[in-house]
Amino acid sequence: MIKCKIFEGSCGKAAGSEILIKEFEKFTQAENIEKPGCIGMCHYEALVEVYYKGQYTLFRNVTEKDVLKIITGLTTDRGIESSIEIKIVATGKDSFTENYKNISDSYLKQQTRIALRNIGIIDPMSIDSYKAKGVGVSGYKVITDLLKNKTEGNEIINILDRSGLRGRGGAGFKTSLKWHLAKENKATQKYVIINGDEGDPGAFMDRSLLEGDPHSVLEGLMIAAYTIGANFGYAYIRAEYPLAIKNFKKAIDDAKKAKLLGENILGSNFSFDIKIKEGAGAFVCGEETALIASIEGERGMPKLRPPYPPEKGLFNYPTVINNVETLAQIPWIIANIEQFTTLGTPQSRGTKVFALAGNITRGGLVEIPMGTTIRKVIYDIGGGPETGYKVKGVQLGGPSGGCLPDYLLDTPITYEDIQKTGAIIGSGGMIVFDERTCMVDLAKYFLDFTEKESCGKCTFCRIGTLRMKEILEKITRGYGVLDDITKLESLAKSIKETSLCGLGQSAPNPVLTTLEYFMDEYLEHIEQKVCRGKRCKALIEYFISPDRCTACNLCSKSCPANAIIGKTKEKGSYKVQTDKCIKCGVCKDVCKFNAVDILSKRDEKSFAEIYGKN
């Protein structure tokens, strides 16, 4: 009898996990197919673990066509054919979903998973699975013990204080202090809120936690509520995460059925209930006061602080807002406080989850102790850049963060060390880029984002980011002048100093860090009108090499702008009409002979000399 586990998160679904489930149902009954949440090894999606006759085998990048081959390979004498054999990640007598240590693959082995301890191991849709299979701490054991022992809130705060836990959402504020301020307040009504508005492009750890281990976040929230004396909570989850909303709703329903939510939980004096509020698409709502405004039904515009939320927050009551990753860690930390204090550095204790993506071989979720170097994450765990390319740099902290060059990769990842470079850890997004990225284009991309997401309240954020964006547009179109750089720096300073909230205060960071570390690219764009990354559409041209082109006509047929002319089978006749070309890249994608080149002004000259201009 075949049993299997198909890991299902949003990426797994995108990689076709639903189709795989249908395929496997042809060979085994539906109840033999389990669906744990995503394990965070995104580069291996779709991942499937198959059990047959006492042996567990983990397969990666499984497609619909592979299923029959896997079944045949495992259950007949024919054995596993080579195309499937290379997809085996690990095989053994123990299920890999019981314990990460069963997977010898270096990706997981080198991680220290606390927030991510359960994803891929438990069934996120089952509260019993959370209770029974929780790694390092049984599900809901911590809150149960706290209630049973009537533990004082101050005792919990002391444990958190010892842990040194800092908010994992980006601000890095000390969690114990936040809870302490709210607890001390004498107000009769208090609130706790899960900040699930993971808006940083490039961050997906909160999504994975809400999808794959929602109960750990819920339990963390309950512990916060119990500590500060709150009886009601909100889970603010962004609308762009439908699966996270669905799975978290199920977790709430199941907790209610198990009497872990509601009046007098487990016979104690603690009553707690929670409601989900969906975000409506506003990056700024990740900021605490904007999030509160959103829950109150208003435009998500930040407010002046003080007063801070733990003093006056939702509906003017003391409110503790914690990030998803922070909350997921709480139960484990309380149960394993001694162990937690051995991880990280004095100012940056514990572990942090990073969402590794971009031009990287093994992208996915990586949780490592603070103090690990960027280089270790990118090379040892992430497998380094894609074949044939070199790491040019890494972007940390999303649109609030900065772009660091390759020579800073030995920087240890701690709040203090990263801040010194001009970047921030932020939510943990880590985007690796190689020489195919243009730094000016990347800076413009971030400004584009923050300018659109600016709520508009502060003049310099509202108009300043627009002006900075316009200047970068100018530069990427080849009309930049040296004075533009001075203007960018001066605007950046003003925006940072006069903005009310973190969005404006950090919006200029990507520009400032690229100016500091990649100035030569700005100068090339301005002085030579050259884009070395070959991204800026105004500064590049698509060119069909007469030597490699076989005149098969595929590019011309596929071109959505009808910009390629030529005669089939007539070598040398194919040309890209530059006035019609929209530089979409389809021709390069479809060409089977690698005959399409992207030329920057620098190359163009030499090609023009050899072949004559198109």
Closer CB to other proteins, residue 320 or residue 438? 438
Q: Is 395 in the site for other proteins (CB under 8 A)?
A: yes
List 184, 240, 311, 603, residue binding other proteins (CB under 8 A): 240
Q: Is 257 in the site for other proteins (CB under 8 A)?
A: no
Whole-number minimum distance, CB 506 to other proteins, in Å? 15
Strand 232-237 relative to strand 273-278: parallel, antiparallel, unpaired? parallel
Q: With CB under 8 A as the rule, give the number of residues binding other proteins.
A: 70
Among 38-46, 181-189, 334-342, 497-505, which window interacts with other proteins (CB under 8 A)?
A: 38-46
**Of the candidates 30, 53, 54, 65, which one interacts with other proteins according to CB under 8 A?**
65
Region of 48-56, 235-243, 519-527, 603-611 interacting with other proteins (CB under 8 A): 235-243
Stretch that binds other proteins, among 8-16, 91-99, 173-181, 346-354 (CB under 8 A): 8-16
CB-CB contact of 234 with 194 (8 Å) = yes
CA gap 108, 366 in Å, rounded: 8
User: Which residues on neighbouring strands pair with residue 575, listed in sequence order?
Assistant: 565
- Under the binding rule (CB under 8 A), the answer on residue 419 touching other proteins is no
For other proteins, the binding residue among 139, 364, 384, 428 (CB under 8 A) is 364
Q: By CB under 8 A, tell whether 538 contacts other proteins.
A: no
Residue 247 in the binding site for other proteins (CB under 8 A): no
> What three-state secondary structure class fits 455?
coil
Contact with other proteins (CB under 8 A): which of 193, 274, 442, 500?
442
Of 160, 218, 355, 531, which lies in the binding site for other proteins, with binding defined by CB under 8 A?
A: 355
- Plot region of 29 (φ>0 → left; ψ -120 to 50 → alpha; else → beta): beta
Pair 248, 233: CB distance under 8 Å: no
Residues 6 or more apart in contact with residue 395 via CB below 8 angstroms: 202, 358, 401, 402, 403, 404, 423, 429, 430, 431, 433, 442, 510
Comparing CB distances to other proteins, the nearer of 180 and 392 is 392
70 touches other proteins (CB under 8 A): no
Residue 334 beta carbon to other proteins: minimum distance, rounded to whole angstroms: 28
598 makes contact with other proteins (CB under 8 A): no
Residue 263, token pair as written in the block? 């009046």
The answer to whether residues 89 and 74 touch, using CB atoms and an 8 Å cutoff, is: no
Residue identified by tokens 């994608």 is 589
Contact with other proteins (CB under 8 A): which of 295, 320, 327, 377? 295
Nearer CB in complex with other proteins: 205/225: 205
Interaction between residue 449 and other proteins (CB under 8 A)? yes
Q: Is 300 in the site for other proteins (CB under 8 A)?
A: yes
Give the one residue of 5, 39, 43, 67 binding other proteins; rule: CB under 8 A: 43
| Residue 291 interacting with other proteins (CB under 8 A) | no
Residue 458 touching other proteins (CB under 8 A) = no
251 contributes a contact to other proteins by CB under 8 A? no
Under rule CB under 8 A, residue 120 binds other proteins: no
CB-count exposure of residue 358 (10 Å: 0-12, 13-18, 19+)? buried
Helix axes 214-228, 175-184, angle to 10 degrees: 40
How far, rounded to the nearest angstrom, does the alpha carbon of residue 385 sit from its chain's CA centroid?
18
Q: Given the rule CB under 8 A, which of 91-99, 159-167, 216-224, 293-301 is the region that contacts other proteins?
A: 293-301
- DSSP state letters, 156-203: HHHHHHHHT-B-TTTT--BHHHHHHHHHH---S--EEEEEE---STT-
Tokens of 219: 């339990």
Residue partners of 271: CB distance under 8 A and separation at least 6: 231, 262, 263, 264, 265
Asked if 286 touches other proteins (CB under 8 A), the answer is no
Structure tokens at 427: 């939510």
Q: Residue with structure tokens 């004075």?
A: 483
Tokens standing for residue 538: 């105004």
Kind plus residue range of the DSSP H or E element containing 429: strand 429-434
Out of 405, 590, 597, 602, the only residue in the binding site for other proteins (CB under 8 A) is: 590
Q: Which residues bind other proteins (CB under 8 A)?
A: 10-11, 13-16, 19, 42-43, 45, 63-65, 198-204, 207, 239-242, 277-283, 294-300, 355, 357-359, 363-364, 395, 398, 429, 431, 433, 437, 442, 445-446, 449, 452-453, 455, 535, 537, 558, 560-561, 582-586, 589-590
